[in-house]
Structure 1
């Protein structure tokens, strides 16, 4: 029987041209993050299942790939619990492994520690366009910095990295979990009902105010409270960043001074960046339950979903270390970035196209000389119709050719786009 050569459902093979784009994007992002002082670390794909299911990952914990314990019998008793069968799982993000890494190594790390991670993660998603069961994340985190320097630097570095990779026209959206909590409390909701309100507000850009208002009575709000909530939110959307602090104080009179000060300082610093497009978005929620302060996302007109997101999570590392550590992180949606950039020229690759009677020493010598300026150079033997082969070379990612017809040396290099 012939074996099925297709990849597992929800995964995919990557052809050389696609990998070339991914390498280009990663190289540009890495270059920028290194300039900001972020140091690359690596963590294992497998984590203890207790850590992965410790309430840190929100809805993602329902999508964990669990790994059976070694040494199990082929048949187990019907009453055996899942916890007796599983001890490991594949990581669903890079933040949970980072908290364990920091707890184990913090004594030897610089303070604050600027971490950079890139690697695969796994989620048991329903496969569809743009969503895969194995995909790559690209994260930077600053651990040990309590001020909004962390938020501002993460946003500046990430937007600069995206621009370096070739993505322009992005917008940063900023909010704060502490603001959202104060907003829910001012609406008269008990704390156990806040999450439901946040879930509804997060849909505003998709269902509009009519849809949000239709849902809010089921969240425990009457018409008067809904009117006040809508007025507060619309008053905070757009507007001059310089007046954000006053508008926040007017919208939520009980908002703590610390939150007002942090958001005002962030707004001032981001506005000073000049070309950065950003806005305060009072309906931004983000799904992870571990956020404790400011949260942010990056959106792009060509993508229906955010292309990067993150926030402050000051309580998460304490679960590993036994004491709280201020922490803030930003994760780039690497797969979405690649999809938006795919098709851009990412390298200069030269094909040394040689006839069968050209001596091998001439072929390899020509290629060696061309590589001296750092370009990608590959010898390819002439076969078939000349025009058809040039077309294939272009499809394979080559940008120019040097045609070796005889032992006298190479002809002139010429771009394949002019063939």
Structure 2
């Protein structure tokens, strides 16, 4: 028997907790990990086969070897990749309200101060207004029939007025297919790439199932972190099954880079900095280890501006307001909120996530080290 065969045989016959859970819950989550994550990570994260198999056996994929300080002693402190897949059913049928960005926007209608404006919906070349009623130059409401519903004309109209717009699919994650558009003196740009007017029109005409959203202007401190992206905070809230109230499990500040701009997504090359939940102070920023190793930055690697030690202005008020907002939705106990701080203590919700990624949190600190967080996942049969 070859060394690989002996290793696989040992893996097969060892009946530890993770393998028992895998057999009880089905192999679909594991297969999804292999197809979507592990297949692309194999060559990026080099390690002995024995180490890789150890990670698999405990529900982790190869990137955990670099992202986390995980070994036999610490593995129970981290939510594994497999366990993260098991969080998908937590919100039940209400997860649709988070997956569908238009529905989520409607859900937040009673909290208008914390939601961005959605001008309209693009469907098969047609524009349908979503938020504010149409008005003429005198501010008088106009009948929708008096305005063209052509998607290209309406998007150009809003873009010319605001200079920047966000076009995003109703369904989508990780910033995929999000288009940040701008126009200056008749010159168009989409995600930082120049487009001719004709190219821009053709792009808009091709969009189906998209929302036309305002570009939310961030507070000065976020501009100081990195000016060329909207730098959002991902806040993970959970509903405590014992106290019957929501709490903030963790929070990180995402910061754009030249690689990710005009977006800030960690998976696209942005930085993640832990937020001290008591003070709102940022720690060092870190990028996803595309080259197989982590690099920590106390200052922005491109601008030199401070990251570590920066503070979210009005953090205590942000926490209170967001926790109160989460408290209005006990039927949705698990939400990853993406917010933009607009002024001290004020924020706009960009979107909510029903199955938040956890790497962006756990690269800084293990989630399950917090007893309250562990209790939540136990209650929902994730661990």
Band of TM-score, shorter chain: under 0.3
TM-score using structure 2 length: 0.25
Judging by fraction of residues, say which structure has more helix: 1
TM-score (norm 1): 0.24
Structure having the higher Rg: 1
